[in-house]
Amino acid sequence: MSLGIHVKELEPGDIKRCSTIPVCGLSAYVPHRYHLVNESKTWTEAQSYCRQTYTDLATINSMNEMKKLADTLKDQSLRVWIGLEKVTWQWSLQDGTVYREGQSYKRSSSYVFINDFKSWHDAQSYCRKNHTDLASVRNQAENVKIKEAAKGKTVWIGLFRVFWKWSDQSYSSFRYWKQNQPDIPSGKETCGYIVMTDGGYWSNENCETKFPFICYERKNSTYILIKEAKSWYDAQVYCRERYTDLVSVRSQTENQQILDSAKTSVSILWIGLFYNSWKWADQSASLFRYWASTQPDNCDGNQNCTAVFMAEQGRWHDMNGNSQLPFICHENQLILIKQNLTWREALRYCKDNHVDLVSVHSEEIQLWVKEVAQNASTEHVWLGLRHTCTLSFWFWMSGVSICYENWAPGNGTGGEDCSSVERTGAVQARGGQQWVSLPETQKLNFICTTYED
């Protein structure tokens, strides 16, 4: 049941409807909706089409999403593009503000020439310690400025290809490899482990191999040894479900702390290091893979894109991106609107252009709201949450019962100030990203849902 756009105080006759026992359970929310486009295009053409018409080429984060995608494909003989591609070059700059085509960039930059010979990693460490970072080149004008600052010398800039990343998607240049390691099979993904009996040096192994592993709990800054042998992928899921993630190692000190926490009870331990030569087209982070047994093989030396082979139970193959295939687009359920509107204006906008202001009725949806909201230009972001002064409670405009709550302290108590204007709900764009009660006349960014559950 959806309430109409006309917002008013609830009448006494509405009490029965709103005070019934809510049915609370697992949300049917799915972050992506998949659309099959049965036209043959190259991978690049398919990506452009998806970005213009939906959100992007399909991103697949779990086996459940893989099953949903397979349900979208009725023809079991199809081969279709998805959004997985080989890792490309990226900039060292950590704050994510590097120039991209089609974006404006207002920060002015100054360049400092360091007339000292260093490796790229040492140069990066020096710049981060003494300045901001190695130089990023965002346009031709900046390239000219860097050439002038370099005074005719050959200099490092911040462009690099990183294949090794940590499970939490962070990047660290610290490595502690055993001699002659890592030994990376061509085109394959591999994972890092600590050799406890060899001074704590690292080696790499097929991620499906089963080893004990070590989790990290960020809240208590502690390491947790799990002696049960699991594949790297299963170890990652285990750590994320119970703690924070598989452990990241950023210094020799942390490496020694891990050795001390495991002592001599195991000889080999998975850590969170992952050789990830593939990424999703929408830049989202996922380590879920569903390769066929012999894939990826980079057979012609230029297989940088990924297709789903329905004739092989939906398993993935790497392929040359110039091949002509149908493709799968995905559409996000949540969209951030960076317009500053009152709550009523935001509600009208969402209903006119999408479906509704977002209802956060599960922790799963809250996590996706957090991801979207952090890109807002306002301190708070409107949700489809409203207070009734007549009956002194909060409700979702979509009619969904409030089973899950994430109020900031002092908010959402029901005893709201009704003396001036109605109170409506927003989420903090950053920080704890909890819900707050605000006057409906305040102007904020907002989050719409793009289709019905």
- Does residue 109 share a domain with residue 82? no
Q: Compute the mean pLDDT over every residue in the chain, rounded to the nearest whole number.
A: 76
CATH number at residue 40: 3.10.100.10
- Does residue 182 share a domain with residue 268? yes
- The answer as to whether 78 is a domain residue is yes
pLDDT at 214 over 50: yes
- Does residue 386 share a domain with residue 403? yes
Dist CA 441 CA 381 (whole Å): 13
The DSSP secondary-structure symbol of 167 reads T
- 């294949």: which residue's tokens? 163
- Expressed in angstroms, the distance from the first to the final Cα of the chain is 12
- The answer as to whether 320 is a domain residue is yes
- Does residue 340 share a domain with residue 270? no
Give CA angle at 131 (155, 285), nearest 5°: 85
| Residue 1 identity | M
Structural domain containing residue 16 = 12-28+333-449
- Does residue 42 share a domain with residue 20? no
Strand-pairing partners, residue 83, are none
pLDDT at 12 over 50: no
Tell me: the pLDDT tens digits for 51-102? 888 878 888 877 777 887 878 777 666 788 888 877 666 676 644 333 333 3
Choose one of 130, 160, 190: the last residue of a domain.
Answer: 160
Most confident region among 95-99, 270-274, 448-452 by mean pLDDT: 270-274
- 70 versus 12: the higher-pLDDT residue is 70
Residue whose C-alpha is closest to residue 256's, from 150, 176, 376, 158 = 176
Tell me: the pLDDT tens digits for 92-131? 664 433 333 333 334 445 788 888 888 887 888 888 788 8
Give CA angle at 185 (181, 187), nearest 5°: 130
- Does residue 141 share a domain with residue 243? no
Determine contact, residues 29/365, Cβ cutoff 8 Å. Answer: yes
Q: What is the pTM assigned to this prediction? A: 0.55
Span of 13-17, 258-262, 430-434 with lowest mean pLDDT: 13-17
- Does residue 313 share a domain with residue 342? no
- Does residue 129 share a domain with residue 51? no
pLDDT at 14 over 60: no
Span of 326-335, 384-393, 423-432 with lowest mean pLDDT: 326-335
Task: Give me the mean pLDDT over the 164-173 stretch.
Answer: 70
- The answer as to whether 55 is a domain residue is yes
- Does residue 196 share a domain with residue 137? no
- Does residue 219 share a domain with residue 190? yes
Give CA angle at 428 (423, 433), nearest 5°: 125
Task: Give me the mean pLDDT over the 424-452 stretch.
Answer: 88
Choose one of 331, 362, 396: the last residue of a domain.
Answer: 331
- Does residue 177 share a domain with residue 110? no
At residue 87, the pLDDT reads 66
pLDDT band of 310, cuts 50, 70, 90: confident
- Does residue 202 share a domain with residue 141? no
Task: Give me the mean pLDDT over the 263-281 stretch.
Answer: 77
At residue 346, the pLDDT reads 93
- The answer as to whether 214 is a domain residue is yes
Give CA angle at 188 (182, 193), nearest 5°: 40
Determine contact, residues 84/308, Cβ cutoff 8 Å. Answer: no
- The answer as to whether 105 is a domain residue is yes
Choose one of 160, 189, 204: the last residue of a domain.
Answer: 160
Dist CA 383 CA 357 (whole Å): 6
Determine contact, residues 126/166, Cβ cutoff 8 Å. Answer: no
pLDDT band of 10, cuts 50, 70, 90: very low
At residue 349, the pLDDT reads 92
pLDDT at 321 over 50: yes
- The answer as to whether 177 is a domain residue is yes
The set of long-range contacts for 340-344, using a CB threshold of 8 Å and a minimum separation of 24, is: 340/377, 340/378, 340/443, 340/444, 340/445, 341/382, 341/443, 341/444, 341/446, 342/440, 342/441, 342/442, 342/443, 343/382, 343/386, 343/424, 343/438, 343/440, 343/441, 343/442, 343/444, 343/446, 344/7, 344/440
pLDDT over 90, % of the chain: 7
- The answer as to whether 303 is a domain residue is no
Split into its structural domains, the chain has a count of 4
Determine contact, residues 348/5, Cβ cutoff 8 Å. Answer: yes
At residue 6, the pLDDT reads 37
- The answer as to whether 338 is a domain residue is yes
Please list, in sequence order, all residues whose beta carbon lies within 8 angstroms of the beta carbon of residue 148, skipping any fewer than 6 positions away. Answer: none
**Strands 334-341 and 56-57, sheet pairing:** unpaired
Q: How distant is the alpha carbon of residue 4 from its chain centre?
A: 34
